[in-house]
Chains A and B, each alone.
Chain A
């Protein structure tokens, strides 16, 4: 039988909790939450209302659709026309679909033009391009990360770095994957030439709404962060056992996305808070993709046991907020 101190070892967890006010000019909520680029679900919890306010509804319905491209060869992301029409303007971002970060090759394209390839050892050696061993290797280096700034002069079309990567992806490692691609509003036209060459489908985020009644709510301002997140998780999951204080009817709305413009979402939540009511708080939780190669800026993300990376923004009536940024073992600290 193992000695108990070995059984006590659990992976590192990291939770950053910030509280401040939206009225404080130095608050950096937008800058912080924008760094979680690839998100698949948003949950908004609104107390004391049986249906969502109309301006929140209109914001949620205004998000642009995203595309799923089947069997996209990765060298297409280096296509000169695609780079000039979309990538250099910071208009597109994408993530490989249904690739597991701990088993398969994963690709991410961030809005600032960074292309990240998370490859297993054989694929990396075939590709023949500079990369670093992953921070999440166990004993031997079995995973490597190739990170390329497509807007840098060294990766300009025709340059040496560009040609080396392009040759690697076309002749040595013909990497092909299903790819989720999204764009900033108004930039849809830049994707048309790429989409016309492959099998693609358009998807819109789906919205679902649940009304919960007789829900008990703890003292949110004084609650410690872990208990607060546990309560929010219990509400979202529909658990029978929820730590209790007093009762109020609480509707929730839930939405699945590729990426989300949370700035608009949080602004409309704040408008909702300005109206007088008994319970003056709103909570918004945004879940990042667990298989994204990058998380919190462009730093490497790993799965290990959970792959969690999400944040919760609790907004109160008096323009104060609590921002809880969570990440899993060995990821870099959230901003």
Chain B
């Protein structure tokens, strides 16, 4: 859904208000595994998330397009991008994904935003001690 209000006085000045127009939502997630020495590659992570989508939502859910924009193998932290209308689908399947290769695991969703730029600065991580 998108509403656009425009004020154009001269050729120079323009103001546009975009409501609910962000095509994507971005999630910063971390995978916490029971066996902390296990490592996954980016491809394995994506496959794992698709498996989770399929378990919860079936073939139609597994067809949801999402991207792994950045992945850090050491901390198992990833930046995911998904279409806005698929956010709830993806997020709920991450929440309910409980085991990887028969060992317990959990996805921690650290930050969610319609702007990728907002994910680069989180004041909740600010440590001044």
Contact = CB atoms under 8 A, between A and B. Distances in A.
Interface of A: 1, 7-10, 12-21, 24, 26-27, 40-41, 43, 68, 97-98, 100, 180, 201, 203, 225-226, 229-230, 232-234, 236-241, 256, 285, 287-291, 305-306, 308, 310, 312, 320, 326, 328, 333
Contact of A233 (B21, B112, B120): B120
Interface string B24-68: 111000000000000000000000000000000100000000010
B112 A20 contact: no
A199 to B, nearest CB: 12
A239 B69 contact: yes
A17 B20 CA distance: 14
Contact of B15 (A9, A16, A41, A68): A16
Contacts of B118: 233, 287, 306, 308, 310, 326
B104 interface: no
Given A10-B85, A97-B128, A291-B123, A306 B114 contact: yes
B124 interface: yes
Q: 7 closest A-B pairs (Cβ-Cβ)?
A: A233-B116, A308-B118, A233-B117, A287-B121, A236-B120, A306-B113, A41-B121
B88 A310 contact: no
Contact of B123 (A16, A40, A230): A40
A306 B118 CA distance: 8
Nearest to B13: A20
B29 to A, nearest CB: 14
A17 B14 CA distance: 8
Main secondary structure, interface of B, reads mixed
Given A18-B15, A287-B120, 6 more contacts: A12-B19, A13-B22, A17-B18, A233-B117, A236-B120, A237-B116
A225 B88 CA distance: 24
Contacts of A8: 85, 88
B75 interface: no
A326 B89 contact: no
A16 B69 contact: no
Given A8-B85, A308-B118, A290 B123 contact: yes
A13 B26 CA distance: 13
A14 B17 contact: yes
A17 B17 CA distance: 6
Contact of B128 (A16, A18, A68, A290): A68
A20 B123 contact: no
B126 to A, nearest CB: 6
B52 to A, nearest CB: 15
B86 to A, nearest CB: 8
A8 B82 CA distance: 12
B105 to A, nearest CB: 23
A15 B3 CA distance: 11
B108 interface: no
Contacts of A21: 12-13
Contacts of A310: 115, 117-118, 121
Contacts of B123: 40-41, 287-291
Contacts of A201: 128
Contacts of B16: 16-18, 225
Nearest to A329: B114
Contacts of B24: 226, 230
Given A13-B114, A234-B69, A306-B114, A290 B20 contact: no
